[in-house]
Structure 1
Amino acid sequence: MTSSERTGPSASAGERDMLDGWLEFHRETLVAKCEGLSDEQLRTASAEPSMLSLLGLVRHMADVERHWFRRVLTGEEIEPIFYTEDDPDRDFRAGDGDTWQDTHTTWQAEVAAARAAVGGRSLDDLAVRENREGGKFNLRWIYVHMIEEYARHNGHADLLRERIDGATGV
């Protein structure tokens, strides 16, 4: 595995910088898990019957970024990128025509849109869309959820990468 440059989160930053730092660290970790692999390797499923692959995780995170920062936080009326109501796991299923270049470009566009969406907002700012109980998420909750989402899936990425080429760490 190649060694991607990652910026470790500060151990003494204020709350917003700490949350930004951890989110960026986990985004960079997912990139590091995918580095140096072919499209075919990135599409390799973990183990039957699971369809989980590294490319599928990146596709999923593109949809997750879009959902929480653009659809929930700002209320933007846009459709998911990969999954549908009829096929809610489609983001995880990378097909033969799906490439790292296209998937990475799409994901990075959503990361950039997420960064723009949080610019100038307070952690106490409430999202436009309501949760299931009729309340609203504040930006702090969204940050913590996104960090948790990336951390969980980076754990999956660890196992996927080890299965593909034996690489561990990062």
Structure 2
Amino acid sequence: MTTTERPMPPLDADERTALESWLDFYRTTLVMKCEGLSDEQVRRTSVAPSPLTLLGLVQHMAEVERNWFRRVLTGEEVAPIYDPRADPDASDGGFDLTENVSFATARATWEAEIAHARSNCVARELDRTSPFMGGDVTLRWIYLHMIAEYARHNGHADLIRERIDGTTGV
């Protein structure tokens, strides 16, 4: 049923390649958790009382990509994607669903944010800093944070997917 290829991160790579490869591995994993499901299925909640859904996770990760790779890394002033009234510095939005956002729309938005992220990182050194919370943060730290963020949410996605149709181990 899965059609997306998930490349294995190289076993012997330089630091930047390793970080980018693991981030892409986890980005691809999120797509794979959602493949083959209908819009109705990606809107199904995990287990009451949690409102967590696969669609909400994709929307949330678009917000997280935007926050870290645009607002924090480059200082770009961009509004939240899904709730214009939300605090743009919170990066915890996107979970709430609306009728006008399909999975295809959410995925396209998320992929556009990933494209921005890649563009903003391509010529940037891992040790270069950006102002953050009264201090400085490196691109290396942001990559590591994003890997952890995706890994955590992919665990949620795995449980939600199993509850929807029994699929595990993607």
- With the length of structure 2 as denominator, give the TM-score of the two structures: 0.93
Kept in 2, the 8 Å contact 1:43–1:95? The answer is no
Structure 2 CA distance, aligned partners of 1:71 and 1:114?
11
Aligned residue for 1:121? 124
Answering whether residue 113 of structure 2 is matched by residue 110 of structure 1, we say yes
- Does 135-144 or 89-98 show the bigger shift? 89-98
Q: Is the 8 A contact 1:19 1:144 kept in 2?
A: yes
Q: Distance in 2 between matches of 1:69 and 1:85?
A: 16
Cα deviation 1:77-135 (Å, max 9, x = unaligned): 111112413998651122333201100010000000000000111100101x322xx11
d(CA) in 2 for partners of 1:123, 1:88: 22
Structure 1 residue identity aligned to 2:87: E
Instruction: Indicate how the Cα distance of structure 1 residues 145 and 97 shifts in structure 2: closer, same or farther if over 3 A, else same.
Output: same
Give the aligned partner of residue 5 of structure 2.
Answer: 5
Cα distance in 1 between the residues matched to 2:128 and 2:142: 11
Query: Is the 1:4–1:32 contact (alpha carbons within 8 Å) kept by the matching residues of 2?
Result: yes
Report what 2:18 is aligned to: 18
Report the aligned-residue RMSD: 1.7
* C-alpha distance in structure 2 between counterparts of 1:66 and 1:109, whole Å: 9
Matches within 5 A, 1:17-56: 17-56=17-56
Identity of aligned residues (%): 57
Q: What's the CA shift for 1:69?
A: 0.3
**Distance in 2, Cα, partners of 1:90 & 1:108:** 17
Q: CA offset at residue 152 of structure 1?
A: 0.2
C-alpha distance after superposition, 1:16-70 (max 9, x if no partner): 0000000000000000000000001001111111110000000000000000000
Matching residue within 96, 100, 113 for 1:97: 100
1:91 partner SS: coil
- Runs of 4+ in structure 1 off by over 6 angstroms are none
> For the structure 1 residues 32 and 81, does the alpha-carbon distance in structure 2 shift closer, same or farther, using more than 3 Å as the test?
same
In 2: Cα distance, 1:72 partner to 1:149 partner = 16
Q: Does structure 1 conserve the Cα–Cα contact (< 8 Å) formed by 2:23 and 2:147?
A: yes
Letter in 2 for 1:85: D
**Distance in 1 separating the partners of 2:63 and 2:51:** 17
Gaps of 5+ in 2: none
In structure 1, what is the Cα distance between the partners aligned to 2:91 and 2:18?
Answer: 32
Aligned length: 167
Distance 2:145 2:93 in 1: 21
